[in-house]
Structure 1
Amino acid sequence: MFSCLSPGALGLPLDHTAAIDLALAHGFGGVDPDPEHFRTLLADGGLEAVSAHGAALRAKGLQWGMAGLPIALDASAEEFRAALGSLPDALGLLTAAGVTAVGTWIRPMHRTLDHAANWRLHAGRLSLVSEILADHGLRLGLEYIGPKTIWSTERHPFVHDITDARALIAETGASNIGLILDSYHWYTAGETPEDLTGLAASDIVSVDINDARPDRARDEQMDLDRRLPYDTGVIDLDGFMGAIRTAGYTGPVKVEPFMKSLAEQPVDEVLADISSRLDRAITGA
Structure 2
Amino acid sequence: MSDRFSFNQATANRWAIPDLVAGCVDAGVTRVGLWREQVADFGLEKTAALVKDAGIEVTSLCRGGFFSKPEWYEENRRAIEEARVLGAPVLVLVSGGLPPGSRDIDAARRHVGDAVGRLVPAAVEAGVQLAIEPLHPMFASDRCVVSSLGQALDLAAPYPAEAVGVVVDTYHLWWDDAVWAQIARAGREGRIACFQAADWITPLPEGVLLGRALPGEGCVELRRFRAAVDAAGYTGPVEVEVFHADLWARPGAEILAATIAAYREHVA
TM-score range, shorter chain: 0.7 to 0.9
Aligned amino acid, residue 228 of structure 1 = L
Q: Residue 140 of structure 1 aligns to a residue in which SS?
A: strand
Q: Deviations over 1:65-114 (max 9, x none)?
A: 211345532212xx235436xx26x5445424422221121235555152
User: In structure 2, do the counterparts of structure 1 residues 82 and 100 end up closer, same or farther at CA, with 3 Å as the change threshold?
Assistant: closer
Q: Does 1:171 align with 2:158?
A: yes
Q: Residue 184 of structure 1 aligns to a residue in which SS?
A: helix
User: In terms of mean alpha carbon deviation, does 22-31 or 274-283 score higher?
Assistant: 274-283
* Shift in Å, 1:53: 4.4
Q: What does 1:247-262 correspond to in 2, within 5 Å?
A: 247-262=232-247
Q: What does 1:219-238 correspond to in 2, within 5 Å?
A: 222-232=208-218, 234-238=219-223
User: In structure 2, do the counterparts of structure 1 residues 70 and 236 end up closer, same or farther at CA, with 3 Å as the change threshold?
Assistant: closer
Aligned amino acid, residue 105 of structure 2 = H
Query: Which residue does 2:18 correspond to in 1?
Result: 17
Q: Does 1:114 align with 2:104?
A: yes
Q: What does 1:44-123 correspond to in 2, within 5 Å?
A: 50=48, 53=50, 55-58=52-55, 62-70=56-64, 72-76=66-70, 79-83=71-75, 87=77, 91-107=80-96, 109=98, 111-112=101-102, 114-123=104-113
Q: Does 1:205 align with 2:193?
A: yes
Query: Which residue does 1:47 correspond to in 2?
Result: none
User: In structure 2, do the counterparts of structure 1 residues 214 and 72 end up closer, same or farther at CA, with 3 Å as the change threshold?
Assistant: closer
Query: Using the alignment, how far apart are the partners of 2:236 and 2:128 within structure 1?
Result: 14
Q: Deviations over 1:203-243 (max 9, x none)?
A: 11112211122558xxxx944323221113x1111211110
* Shift in Å, 1:146: 1.6
Q: Does 1:39 align with 2:44?
A: yes
User: In structure 2, do the counterparts of structure 1 residues 224 and 208 end up closer, same or farther at CA, with 3 Å as the change threshold?
Assistant: same
Q: Percent identity?
A: 18
Q: Is the 8 A contact 2:20 2:252 kept in 1?
A: no
Gaps of 5+ in 2: none
Query: Using the alignment, how far apart are the partners of 2:39 and 2:251 within structure 1?
Result: 26
Q: Deviations over 1:141-168 (max 9, x none)?
A: 1111124x333x58xx943111111101
Query: Using the alignment, how far apart are the partners of 1:251 and 1:91 within structure 2?
Result: 20
User: In terms of mean alpha carbon deviation, does 181-190 or 238-247 score higher?
Assistant: 181-190
Q: Is the 8 A contact 1:146 1:189 kept in 2?
A: no
Q: Is the 8 A contact 2:67 2:112 kept in 1?
A: yes
User: In structure 2, do the counterparts of structure 1 residues 13 and 180 end up closer, same or farther at CA, with 3 Å as the change threshold?
Assistant: same
* Shift in Å, 1:193: 3.1
Aligned amino acid, residue 225 of structure 1 = G
User: In structure 2, do the counterparts of structure 1 residues 17 and 121 end up closer, same or farther at CA, with 3 Å as the change threshold?
Assistant: same
Query: Which residue does 2:131 correspond to in 1?
Result: 141
Q: Is the 8 A contact 1:210 1:255 kept in 2?
A: yes
Q: Does 1:180 align with 2:167?
A: yes
* Shift in Å, 1:120: 2.9
Q: Is the 8 A contact 1:211 1:226 kept in 2?
A: yes
Q: TM-score, normalised by structure 1?
A: 0.77
Q: Is the 8 A contact 1:5 1:19 kept in 2?
A: no
Q: TM-score, normalised by structure 2?
A: 0.81
